[in-house]
Amino acid sequence: MDDVEEALRQFRGEFVRASRERVGEMESLLDRLRWAAADGQVLQVLVSHFHGLVGAGGTYGFARISELAAQGELDCKRVQEAQAAAAPAEIDRWKGLVAEIRASLDGWTPEAG
C-alpha cells in the first residue's frame, strides 16, 4: 500500500469514528424530538448533523451514507419550512435513516478501504 492509499484509509477511519459519535447524538436528538416534536432547536441540530454527513460521506467515499443523510436533511427541512411539529411517522423515518447510517458505519473495516 502506498502512502496516499494509507492516508486515505486513515482519513476514512477518522470519518467513521467521528460519524459514529455524530450518529449517537442524532439518536439522542430523535429521542428528545419524540417528546418535544415542535422543538425547532432540536430539529435544527438534527438538520446540521444530516448535512455534515452528506458532505463528509461524499468526500470519503461513503455514497450510501451521503444518500441517506441527504434524504434526512431534506425531510427535516420540509418540516422546518412548514413550521410544524414533526409527526411520529417522520421521526420514525429519520430513526430508520440513522439506523441505516449506523449499519453502514459498523460494516466498514480498514481492510475494506
pTM of the model: 0.91
pLDDT of 4 > 70? The answer is: yes
> Residue 99 falls within a domain, yes or no?
yes
Q: Output the average pLDDT for the chain.
A: 93
State residue 113's pLDDT score. Answer: 59
> Residue 112 falls within a domain, yes or no?
no
> Residue 21 falls within a domain, yes or no?
yes
Write down the residue that cell numbers 425547532 correspond to. Answer: 40
H helix runs in 1-113, sequence order: 3-35, 40-59, 63-82, 88-106
Residue from 31, 30, 109 nearest 76 by CA:
30
User: pLDDT for 76-104, tens place per residue?
Assistant: 999 999 998 999 999 999 999 999 999 99
Domain with 16, as residue range(s), is: 3-107
State the cell numbers at 87: 409527526
pLDDT of 15 > 70? The answer is: yes
Residue from 69, 18, 14 nearest 46 by CA:
69
